[in-house]
Amino acid sequence: MMTEKKAASDNSVQERGVTAKGVEAWVIEGNRRFRSDPGNIARIEMTKSGQHPKRAVAGCGDSRVAANNTNSASIGDQFNTQAIAAMLDNAGIAALMYPVLHLGTRVVDIEVHTGCGGIAAAIQFIKTGKLPDAEKDSILNQEVRRIASVLSATPSALDDPTAASILVGSEVAKRFAGCSSEIREMAKSGELGINVWLYDIKTGEKHVVGRVAYDGRSDSFVVVRV
Ligand SMILES: [Zn+2]
């Protein structure tokens, strides 16, 4: 049974012209090219005793939107973390805290994107109750439910997936601003900038769509749309 299942899975990747061995060879060859680029070698040399990333970035895991690729960043430029629809859990929040608290990073960006599968799955769940994994409480389904819990509070976002992406990014940005007393103080004073970016998968362009600001009247963080 397992053999049949494995064979079927191998066939499906072969149909796309990719095999496990082929992927391994592709990675090794890519790494060889990476190491033969003098610019990369200079960056590795420059950062081998420490890193001071310009910004910490949380993005979606979508293969089309990786933050390092989409603003031509290099070794040491950005501290990256990813989650479906950039909907960070505690591990993701911690990955953004580290460079702020220990590496001197003063810009944190949550990058969401158009055409996000995670957002589409959450909207589908809210509208139809259908989840992406057959196993009801699988980790994947739990994450889709977490995204849905943010969206269900704003019914208008359900008919506008890009607005829904921005909404999720904004909630993550606000949560990060209040994640610890030290970060809260930095975000409150403006020493730490926390922004929401939107990347367009059709044009490859990205721009800031919101900035976290402290609202003294409500003693809470808000996202001011740009
Ligand atoms: Zn996505």
> What pLDDT is attached to residue 18?
78
Ligand 1 centre to CA of 60 (Å) is 5
pTM for the full predicted model: 0.90
pLDDT in tens, the chain (226 residues): 444 444 444 455 555 667 888 999 999 999 999 999 999 999 999 999 999 999 999 999 999 999 999 999 999 999 999 999 999 999 999 999 999 999 999 999 999 999 999 999 999 999 999 999 999 999 999 999 999 999 999 999 999 999 999 999 999 999 999 999 999 999 999 999 999 999 999 999 999 999 999 999 999 999 999 9
> What pLDDT is attached to residue 14?
53
Cα 67 from Cα 65, distance rounded (Å): 6
CATH topology of domain 49-225: Beta-carbonic Anhydrase; Chain A (3.40.1050)
> What pLDDT is attached to residue 17?
65
Task: Name the segment(s) of the chain with CATH classification 3.40.1050.10.
Answer: 49-225
Ligand 1 centre to CA of 31 (Å) is 26
Ligand 1 centre to CA of 189 (Å) is 31
Ligand 1 centre to CA of 61 (Å) is 6
Q: Which two tokens stand for residue 225?
A: 């749309």
Ligand 1 centre to CA of 211 (Å) is 20
- Residue 110's closest CA among 98, 131, 93, 91? 93
Ligand 1 centre to CA of 84 (Å) is 6
Ligand 1 centre to CA of 83 (Å) is 8
> What pLDDT is attached to residue 8?
46
Ligand 1 centre to CA of 143 (Å) is 13
Ligand 1 centre to CA of 185 (Å) is 30
Ligand 1 centre to CA of 45 (Å) is 33
